[in-house]
Structure formats: C-alpha cells, structure tokens
Structure 1
Amino acid sequence: MIKSWMIIGSVTFLIPFSSNFLISSRDAQWFRRLQRPHWLTFERLIPLIWTTIFICGAWSAYIIWEQEPGTQTTWLLMALYLLLEIVTIAYTPVMFRTQSLKVGTIIGGTGFVLNIMLILTVWKINIWAGILLLPYTFWSPIGTYTTWEMSRINSEN
C-alpha cells in the first residue's frame, strides 16, 4: 500500500524537478548576466534554503492529511498546498521566459500571500503544521525583496 507521505513527498519532488524542462539555457544566461545587490552574499545557499522550505511544507501537508484523511476539507487544503508549490516553482521559469524581474517579484509576493492564507487555515487544525510553514513566511519576503532590488538595479533590462 502506498503511504500518504510517499505521495506527498513525490509530488513535492516532481514539481520542481519537472520545471527544469521549462528553462532554456538562453533564459538562464539572461539571469546570470544580471547585476546583484552588493549585500547578496548568500546566493549559493538559496537552493538549500528552498529545499528545506519544501521539506517543511511537505511535512506540514502530511500532518494535515493524517489529521483527517480524505475529507473534503483536507482535499481542499492539499489543493492549496499544491497551488502554493506551483506558484513558488513558477517563479524561475516564468521570470526567465519573460525576462522580467517585475514578474518574478509579483510571483514571489503571490506565494507569500498564499502561504499566509495556508498558515492561517492549517494553524487551526494542527499548530505544528502551521509552524512548519513559518520558514516560507520568513524567507519569501527576503527572496521577493531581492528580486525587486535586482529589478531596480537592472532597470535597463
């Protein structure tokens, strides 16, 4: 029998992995050429930070699923978790394809709002599920601000 954590973990892994096929080398090259803020010294850590955030999000989803498996409310929450992940992952391919840091800033802000909605909902069901979403809440504004600052620095692009 397939366990719920296996399905949640697989979806959490497959969505970011499959998004790599949407990124062309030309688009990635555009992003590499952009100027960064002088204070952006942690860029190499960003993949590790997001990996941790996605693990926490998957764990939160697992807790919620196990609380009341298969109910309509739980399925709706799983859809919200999925939407949050899709919006978060869309940041890179959509921003690269449009070559617009403003689009990236909007996507980042949208992810933050969705995460707040999710936290406020799951907090009432299980406090640990809400706590596991806090890393997203703390990091997302940093990433969004960084993208906004990059759009300001690279305004000619």
Structure 2
Amino acid sequence: MPAWLTILLVMGLVIAVLTPSRQQFAWFLRLRRPRWLTFERWIPVIWSVIYLCFYASALIRWWAGGVTAPLAMVGYLVLLVLVQSYTLLICRTRRLAWGTAAGLAGWLWGLGLALALLSVSRPASLLLAPFLLWSPIGTVVTWRMQKLNR
C-alpha cells in the first residue's frame, strides 16, 4: 500500500474511532464559552488545516526514510490520538479538566516530535507549527470554560 494511502487510512480510522457521538458532543456545545471566543465558527477550518499539515508532515517524514522512520510514524500516531482524544475525553467524562490535560499533553508531545524531526526533515518539523501555535489557544479556551461551567 502506498505511503500516502496508509497514512490517510490510519488518520481516518483514529479520527472515526475517537470522535464523540452526537449526543455526547451536544452536551459540549451547550457549555458556556468565554465572551472573547468570537472565532469559534472557524475552529473546524483551523483543525482541518492542522490535520492536513499532520498528514503532509508524516508523508514527508515517511519519504525521508531511514531507520527511525517507523518510530517517527508511531510518534505521529501518538500525537493524533492525544489531539483527537481531547473532545472525546471531555464529552465522555463531562469534565473539561480532562480536555485541558489532553491539550497540554498533545502540545508537549507535538513539540517533542517537531524537535526530533528537525534533524531529519525541516519541512516535516515546520508543518507541525500550526498545531503548536493553535494548541495553546485551545487549551486556554478549555481552561477558561472550566471556570464558567463548574
């Protein structure tokens, strides 16, 4: 199976398995949000771009080859699971603190992965930058939502 298809299928499977049900997500949508969160309608577009960057980064890293390529793919998989678990954890546990923790863990893992990729493929590393810039914003929003939805 070609690399582009393998990565795409794994990403699709992880996203499908770790997406909350409509009922679970409806609870999340009813939560109060900070007043300054005026860009919420753009969040799905932002995440689509981030996932596209994840895909491109993983594909570039795969093509770079080397003995550490399989380990790098595991790194991408862990990052995807952490990122996709954010909403699922919040919705299943009904605790925003779990989302804040998942957001922080995902950012730390993403930073480590980006730094590890620098020596192998600078473009693959730089493609993780949108996530590394956006993730703290999402984590702060979740942290503020905790205070509004006690």
Could you state the TM-score of these two structures normalised by the residue count of structure 2?
0.94
- Distance apart, 1:119 and its partner CA: 0.4
What percentage of aligned pairs have identical amino acids? 38
* Separation (CA, whole Å) in 2 of partners of 1:48 and 1:142: 15
User: Is the contact made by 2:115 and 2:125 (CA closer than 8 Å) also made in structure 1?
Assistant: yes
* Separation (CA, whole Å) in 2 of partners of 1:24 and 1:132: 31
Q: What are the residue-to-residue correspondences of 1:75-154 with 2, within 5 Å?
A: 75-154=70-149
Letter in 2 for 1:64: R
Equivalent in 28, 31, 43 of residue 31 of structure 1: 28
- Please state if 1:60 is matched with 2:57: yes
- Please state if 1:43 is matched with 2:37: no
User: Is the contact made by 1:23 and 1:97 (CA closer than 8 Å) also made in structure 2?
Assistant: no
Could you state the TM-score of these two structures normalised by the residue count of structure 1?
0.90
Partner of 1:10: 9
User: Is the contact made by 1:57 and 1:133 (CA closer than 8 Å) also made in structure 2?
Assistant: yes
For residues 52-94 of structure 1, what are the alpha-carbon distances to aligned partners after superposition, in whole Å with 9 as ceiling and x for unaligned? 101101111111111116x3x1111100100000111011111
* Separation (CA, whole Å) in 2 of partners of 1:4 and 1:28: 32
* Separation (CA, whole Å) in 1 of partners of 2:137 and 2:25: 21
Unaligned 5+ segments in structure 1 are none
Unaligned 5+ segments in structure 2 are none
- Distance apart, 1:37 and its partner CA: 0.4
User: Is the contact made by 2:97 and 2:143 (CA closer than 8 Å) also made in structure 1?
Assistant: yes
User: How many aligned positions are there?
Assistant: 150
